[in-house]
Amino acid sequence: LKLNKLTERPELFVQGDSVRPGILVLINEADWELYGELTYELKENDTIMFISTLHGG
């Protein structure tokens, strides 16, 4: 996913080998932790959402 889809500013989403703190990852509208995080293999019709939990105030 990092190499094929995050073509613009991947540093906003990735830190080292994982997702940056403050980024919620949903696979098919469920938290990716339920899928085993980095061990899950994406399937053709999976939908992936990245949601920032950080905001200004």
User: Helix (H, G, I), strand (E, B), or coil: what is residue 29?
Assistant: coil
Distance CA 26, CA 10 (A): 17
b/e per residue 34-57 (b: at least 16 CB within 10 A): ebeeeeeeeeeeeeeeeeeeeeee
Order across the sheet with 48-52: list the strands: 30-31, 23-27, 48-52
What's this model's pTM, rounded to 2 decimal places?
Answer: 0.71
Mean pLDDT, the chain, as a whole number?
A: 85
Whether 2 has a pLDDT exceeding 80, the answer reads no
CATH class of 10-52: alpha beta
Q: Tens digit of pLDDT for each residue in 36-46? A: 888 899 899 99
Return the domain boundaries, the chain: 10-52
pLDDT score, position 57: 64
